[in-house]
Amino acid sequence: MNPSDGGVAPGRPGIQPRWTSSAKEGVGTSASYQSRVWFTISHGILNEVYYPRIDQANTRDMEFLVADGDQ
């Protein structure tokens, strides 16, 4: 982001709020008792991230892009 843009994130305002799919393929957290992060996996993506409490979702549908660097 360029500070001269007024602090607006690219692609704003984002997508409309909605519930994620209930068809979860995985649920996880850290092996550490101190961890306050939980996550769910659905449809091959990191579906929800819960922080700082397990009842407070703060991220939805996070996908990772893996490339070999040639393109």
pLDDT, tens digit, 9 for 90 and up, residues 19-48: 788 899 999 999 888 989 999 999 888 889
Using only C-alpha atoms, what is the Rg of the chain? 16
Q: What is the pLDDT of residue 1?
A: 45
Q: What is the pLDDT of residue 11?
A: 62
- pTM for the model: 0.63
Q: What is the pLDDT of residue 39?
A: 93
Beta-carbon count within 10 A of 47 CB: 24
Alpha-carbon distance 71 to 65, whole Å?
13
Mean per-residue pLDDT, 61-69: 81
